[in-house]
Amino acid sequence: MSETFTIGGVPEHFNLPWHMALHGGYSPAPGVALRWQDYPGGTGDMCRALATGELDVAVLLTEGIIKHIASGGEARLVGTYTKTPLIWGIHVAAEGPIQAMSQLRGGRYAISRAGSGSHLMAALDAAQRQWPEPDYVTIGDLDGGREALRTGRADAFMWEKTMSLPLVHSGEWRRVGEFAGPWPAFVIAASAQAMARGTQWLRDLLDHVSRACAQAEADRPATVRFIGDSYEIPQEDILAWLDHTRWSCAPQVSAAMLQTAGEILADAGILDAPLPPEALVAGPEHLAP
């Protein structure tokens, strides 16, 4: 009888290599079965699922999992998925009164849920602008964010820039600003229960996904076709995204990056204090300088 492990991530173009790996003929070790689960609610939802045992491994935002662990979560980091930061678009309703970023000081920001990237990046952006922390409206996912802007429940919504472009191009949203996360965007975390069931299957999987990452970067035409067909993003926007995106899928996380992220999050009031990097990873083998 196979032991099934569930891997979760957002239903977005960043996770193309995972789908290439899992649906491209990969055969895990005997007795191991793998399944992918989309989480439209994002990092906050995946942190909840890791805590409840619904999810074994998650591909999620760096800041969100650090906040989750600092709040008592038992999941730990086991790898780095991207080398590059996430570029967030700051969006408002195109037909609304807000025309410029300066009008969002003290505004209401839609967030997918507490501890999500849309929440933490809104707080960090405000802190770096020396603004008061925004008021938050919890909306669940992208569709909830669209509804909140359309009905005026929220003034702004931060979402990954490229995935948001169809809504900007259609005239539903106006992008009034951008915010680049100050660290690599996505890391890989595993639940305590999953790690207790052994780790060889995970090492094998990450090695396979790493090869899929290299293939996705090397075969740009195929990558552009897949993303365009799956997410209705124009080719020129996909190419611009690929120009500043580098995958990794390495089984280690940089200690220096974790230290810097903790300090920035603490300075912004998101963490009470930085956690030592070794407290964030599943074991010393997952920590790089």
pLDDT at 274 over 70: yes
- Average of pLDDT values for 248-257? 96
The pLDDT > 70 percentage for the chain reads 100
Residues in the chain: 289
Q: For residue 188, list its beta bridge partners.
A: 59, 79
| Residue 89 falls in which region: left (phi positive, over 0), alpha (psi -120 to 50) or beta | beta
pLDDT at 9 over 80: yes
All structural domains of the chain, each given as residue ranges with its CATH number in brackets, are: 3-85+184-288 (3.40.190.10), 87-180 (3.40.190.10)
pLDDT at 2 over 80: no
Query: Which pLDDT score is estimated for 24?
Result: 81
pLDDT at 206 over 70: yes
Asked whether the whole model's pTM tops 0.75, one would answer yes
- Write out pLDDT tens, residues 210-250: 999 999 999 999 999 999 999 889 999 999 999 999 998 99
- Average of pLDDT values for 199-217? 93
- Write out pLDDT tens, residues 68-107: 999 999 999 999 999 999 999 999 999 999 999 999 999 9
Please, which pLDDT band fits residue 1 given cuts at 50, 70 and 90? low
In the predicted model, what is the mean pLDDT of the chain? 95
- Write out pLDDT tens, residues 121-160: 999 999 999 999 999 999 999 999 999 999 999 999 999 9
